[in-house]
Amino acid sequence: MRHLGEKISGWIKRLTLAAVTVTLVSGQTLPSAEAASRIKDIADFEGIRENQLIGYGLVVGLNGTGDSLNNSPFTQQSLQAMLERLGVNTRNTALNTDTVAAVMVTANLPPFATQGTRIDVNVSALGDSTSLQGGTLLVTPLVGADGEVYSIAQGSVAIGGFSAQADAASVVRGVPTAGRIANGGLVERELDFKLASLTTLRLALRNPDLTTARRIALSINELIGLPTAEPLDPATVRLDLPQQFDGNIVDLLTDIEQLIVEPDLAARIVIDENSGIIVMGQDVKVSMVAVAQGNLTVTIAESPQVSQPLPFANGQTAITPRSDVGVQEDGTKLAIVPKTVTLKQLVDGLNALGIGPRDMISILQAIKASGALQAEIEVL
């Protein structure tokens, strides 16, 4: 038993040493998993894209929450036109119904969607309807940017909100005037795009950058073994298929989109002044600066006094206004933000001032104006 235990201990030591060796070798040859991304996550292939569809239709079966026909003439005209197509003439009849609502129907046509494929559609009220709950969308053609019908939508509308109303109170949660029909669209026309017949493809970067485009081209050329990929601009990489290429283009694109590339991003600070959100990139750097920050607080307190006459006196009750105005100036804080190399040091230097997000936005803009901030500031 002791001999067997020594053997097992030796095996464990050798396996541990092998694992450490593989880790060291991998750390020297492979890129950082945190910074690297697949090409399919940072770029799109030309032609492999969705197309937006739109249509106008009617939702029926509402429980008194539809459009008022007097305020929504387009709903009345659409209802009359639909009834005429069904053989019912209502042109000279005054319609008074609140169970119908005019809606806009939108959907995204997936790439290479074949005839008969089901897609999801979104429904949004167009008139003064208060809720689409329980309604059913009638047959609605969905057209593309070229005016051609690519899908037909119909089905029961599912909404994510609700509304309840009484004589003296009402409750509304979510948006009851917008809903969704899962698999409510049926594709009737296919897009004429033949991927297999292309000899040249273009990759569109989602975040345009010259360095990233060049790295993508180099990675593709290394995979194919020929200089077939070329960066055209910061947002486009052209791929020319080799003349002797006789394989499946889908297999080639699958191998290309799995390649690992490290994107290079510009130093940028994004500021949303409405919510006070600040987002900084990892390459943001700042030179050594001194920052002073102080606040001026003005408080106004109202404490009116009521003056009443004595009993049986001929007088009136009077209110005398009394206001207390105070001004307080917080001590000015002067701190040095050192020359930073990492984003963490920059954030720690700004947090050392003990300021909030609103003041930090003003400080970052002031540092940028002084020329000490080597980054682009984008205000939303």
- Within this chain, do residues 229 and 329 fall inside the same structural domain, yes or no? no
Q: pLDDT digits over 228-254, tens only?
A: 899 999 999 999 887 767 767 888 888
Q: Is residue 179 a part of any domain in this protein? A: yes
Verify that 102 and 214 share a domain, yes or no.
Answer: no
43 found inside a domain: no
For the segment 93-113, the average pLDDT, to the nearest whole number, is 89
Q: State whether 219 and 323 are in the same domain.
A: no
What does the alpha-carbon distance between residue 174 and residue 25 come to, in Å, rounded to a whole number? 54
**Residue range 125-182, pLDDT digits in tens:** 998 898 999 999 999 999 999 999 999 999 999 988 777 766 667 777 778 999 999 9
Query: Could you tell me if 145 and 216 lie in one domain?
Result: no
3-state secondary structure of 112: coil
Question: Are 237 and 123 in the same domain?
Answer: no
In a domain, 83, yes or no: yes
Angle (nearest 5°) at CA 376 between 372 and 380: 125
Q: Is residue 144 part of a domain?
A: yes
Q: Is residue 100 part of a domain?
A: yes
Same domain, 85 and 122: yes
Both 222 and 123 in a single domain? Answer: no
Same domain for 178 and 201?
A: no
Same domain, 180 and 295: no
Report CA-CA distances (Å) from 154 to 38, 50, 112, 120, 123: 39, 21, 22, 10, 10
Domain count, the chain: 3
Return the closest-CA partner of residue 351 out of 217, 273, 343.
343
CA 303 from centre of chain: 49
Q: Are residues 181 and 205 in the same domain?
A: no
Residues 72 and 182 in one domain: yes
For residue 117, the model assigns a pLDDT of 94
Averaged over 12-39, what is the pLDDT?
Answer: 47
Question: In the prediction, which pLDDT does 299 show?
Answer: 54
Question: What CA–CA distance (Å, rounded) separates 131 from 125?
Answer: 8
Look at residue 61 in the predicted model and tell me its pLDDT. 92
For the chain, what is the largest distance between any 2 Cα atoms, rounded to a whole number of angstroms?
116
pLDDT band at 335 (very low <50, low <70, confident <90, very high): low
From 127, 157, 187, give the residue that closes a domain.
187
Does any domain span residue 31?
A: no
Question: Do residues 340 and 325 both lie within one domain?
Answer: yes
CA angle 221, 227, 233 (to 5 degrees): 85
Give percent helix, percent strand, percent coil of the chain, each to the nearest 5. 25, 35, 40
Fill in the amino acid letter for 179: G
Using pLDDT thresholds of 50, 70 and 90, give the confidence band for residue 302.
low
Domain annotation covers residue 313: no
**Domain span holding position 374:** 268-305+319-379
